[in-house]
Structure 1
Amino acid sequence: MTADWRPVADLQQLQQRAQLLATIRRFFAERNVLEVETPLLCRATGTDPNLDFFTSQFHNPPHKKDLFLQTSPEFAMKRLLAAGSGSIYQICKAFRNSEVGRFHNPEFTLLEWYRVEFNLQQLMHEVAELLMTLLSGSMPQLSVTQVSYQQLFIECTGLDPLCFSRLAYHQFSKSQGHPEADSLCADNHALWLDFLFSHCVQNAMPRNSICLVHDYPAIQSSLARLHTDDTRLSERFEVFINGVELGNGFFELSDAEEQNARFEREIAYRQKHGLAAVEKDQLFLDALQTGLPDCSGIAIGLDRLLMIASDCDSIEHVLAFPFANA
């Protein structure tokens, strides 16, 4: 049976998307943040072992080679920052392989922006301001909550995310009906944190609140700076509404040598676990070597944001042509 040719999202959803994009552009124009475009088809991609990517082949000799659909425009945008662009934002498509479901579509719309000379607290304030602007009509009682990752994790699980005990993590996950966690995560602390956070912490977050979770463990932050006063923590935050993750923000790492070392560790992890091989983005590293200004940045999934704004229970309802109908 063939898929229905008609769009899944109705006209009201399409109009709401257009209004959302217009409001975002107005928000940044009022703050003199420059809208930019960068390539989505590139010769390098990220090394993050948690992200799968799409590849394509360019067939024109002598330039024949594999290319990648970007999981994020981050590296190219940071090259613009290093070249002196000032604060910038981009609304674009991003692509992640093997992700489809209630909150995932392989092709999705991303808002990514970088604020030069902003610390993480300033960026969190701007994120909350933007979301309050976008959701004021559909969620008039929306509030803002800030909480550290460690505090929230302990409140929800009784476990300290900075002190790894496989036995304690396994006993807790088993008590919550997730005995499979031990075989999935084994001795990988970062995997345990991801599993427990997504299964046991997100659902316990406050309702009708923009929840800004900050100071993530350093082992979960490939592109963020470490805290100068506690290197177990990174200058990273995530934003959630009703337990749904919307965005991931960093006070951006600008040390090219440290970034290269992190890439090397992620590539080694990929090789050890039989994941698809990738190469480091040397142009990005060259840009860091030249000098990235102090800045904070975040990427927000706009399809998920539309889900929340329209009170839909699946991402496909806000997409004209989701994966099954593309």
Structure 2
Amino acid sequence: MTPRWQPTAHLETLRLRARLYHDIRQFFAKRQVLEVETPILSAGSVPDCYIEPLYTNYHGADAKRLFLHTSPELAMKRLLAAGCGAIFQITKVFRDGEVGRWHNPEFTLLEWYRPGFNQDDLIQEVDEFLQMLLHCPPAERLTYCALFEQHTGLHPLHTALSVLQDYVVQFGLRDVHRLERDTCLQLILSHHIEPLLGQTCPTVIMDFPASQAALARKRVDNPQLAERFEVYVQGIELANGFYELTDPVEQRQRFEQDLANRKALNLATYPLDERFLAALESGLPDCAGVALGLDRLLMLIAGASHINEVLAFPVDYA
């Protein structure tokens, strides 16, 4: 039997992707944001409990394991620390085990950073970006806490953990009373709230719990919250942005806590990116950054129902 060799995306969709990239570059050129390129291979990886990197073994004189980046974030921040100013990148990224309607282990990410921007500034620019490409109305903005109270009647910070665990029972999961608070919140968001978001205009969720800060800074006026936002369109998470943490000590502490969490979950651990941490120590400018999934954006533009419809050769046909 001859294996399938043809692309899974129609040729017109591939042309649409090319036009999308052209429009994106025009958007940033008008704003004098520099396009950059950083390595796909890295000596370290972000120790996120919910993201698994792919890796390869390098057999040169300095033999070592190298990771295919899950995001260009750390390398781009090294450029920011070197004084390059506002930058963007369109790049392939890789995450192990992510396959489905909206996922392929190799996918395309748009990431950009704006020195001098805060969370609100970047949300406004993302909104303008989406209005241009999707011809959609301006986005609505909701805080994470207000969103949870609106859809569940629960306050994500103040509701007892046992109540959150009881709420998760309806999703058909087992051993829910072993789940931690953030896991419960993420399950409620993904199963119950996300499908309702961004139906008439993009929805921006902002000010996440500090426990989900990732690489975002905490709010000065309320350290229980982080200046992190996500953008949803038609129930799909499209973008994830931060008012970036610039404190190297706090960032190292967060990475070490993430490593401890991975060990507790019997997940593989990875070396920290010491070059990134050294760049933070040298001084990262005050900035905000965002990552946006271009395959998902193209799905929305093309009216596609599966990611395979916008990829020439997804993982099963690579």
* TM-score strictly above 0.5: yes
Q: Distance between the aligned counterparts of 1:53 and 1:66, measured in 2?
A: 12
Whether the 8 Å CA contact 1:247–1:299 is kept in 2: the answer is: yes
Distance change in 2, residues 1:3/1:186 (3 Å): farther
Deviation at 1:218, TM superposition (A): 0.7
Per-residue deviation, residues 303-326 of structure 1 (Å, max 9, x unmatched): 000111111111111101011111
How many angstroms does 1:248 deviate by?
0.4
Give the superposed CA RMSD.
1.3
Aligned partner (choices 171, 177, 181) of residue 189 of structure 1 = 181
**Residues 69-108 of structure 1: per-residue CA shift (max 9 Å, x gap):** 0000000000000000000000000000010000100000
Deviations 1:180-239 (CA, angstroms, capped at 9, x unpaired): 1x6257241111111110001111224131111100111111200000111110000000
Q: Which residue of 1 aligns with 2:222?
A: 230
Structure 1 residue 245 and structure 2 residue 224: aligned?
no
Contact residue 212 and residue 239 of structure 1 kept, 8 A: yes
Contact 2:206 2:229 in 1 (8 A): yes
Residue ranges of structure 2 left out of the alignment (5+ in a row): none
Which residue pairs with 1:147 in the alignment?
142
Residue type of the alignment partner of 1:179: G
Instruction: Tell me the CA shift for residue 277 of structure 1.
Output: 1.5
For 1:219, the equivalent position in structure 2 comes to 211
Matches within 5 A, 1:68-107: 68-107=67-106
Aligned to 1:234, the other structure's residue is in SS state strand
Superposition pairs for residues 219-298 of structure 1, below 5 Å? Answer: 219-298=211-290
Shift >4 Å, 4+ stretches? none
- Structure 1 residue 156 displacement after superposition: 0.9
After superposition, the C-alpha distances for 1:160-186 in whole angstroms (9 at most, x for unaligned) are 111242321133233xx3131x62572
Shift of 1:4: 1.1
Equivalent residues in 2 for 1:1-326, closer than 5 Å: 3-61=3-61, 63-136=62-135, 141-174=136-169, 177-180=170-173, 183=175, 186-326=178-318
Query: Partners of 1:195 and 1:265 in 2: how far apart?
Result: 22
Give the counterpart letter for 2:287 in structure 1: C
Residue correspondences, number: 318
Question: Quick one: structure 1 residues 171 and 80, their matched pair in 2 at CA, closer, same or farther if it must change by over 3 Å?
Answer: same
Confirm or deny: 8 A CA contact 1:240 1:247 kept in the other structure. Answer: yes
How far apart, CA to CA, are the structure 2 residues paired with 1:231 and 1:323? 41
Does the CA contact (< 8 Å) of 1:185 and 1:191 recur in 2?
no
Q: Secondary structure at the match of 2:14?
A: helix
With the length of structure 2 as denominator, give the TM-score of the two structures: 0.97
* Alpha carbons of structure 1 residues 110 and 28: separation in structure 2 relative to 1, 3 Å: same
Q: Measure, in 2, the Cα distance between the counterparts of 1:172 and 1:192.
A: 8
Specify the code of the residue in structure 2 equivalent to 1:32: Q
Q: Deviations over 1:280-302 (max 9, x none)?
A: 11100000000000000000000
Counterpart CA distance in 2 for 1:102 and 1:249 is 23
**What TM-score, normalized by structure 1, do the two folds share?**
0.95
Q: Which residue identity does 1:227 align to in structure 2?
A: R
Cα distance in 1 between the residues matched to 2:279 and 2:177: 35
* C-alpha distance in 2 between matches for 1:164 and 1:2: 57
d(CA) in 2 for partners of 1:124, 1:84: 23
> Mind listing any 5+ residue stretches in structure 1 that lack a counterpart?
none
* Counterparts in 2 of 1:164 and 1:269: CA distance versus 1, 3 Å: farther
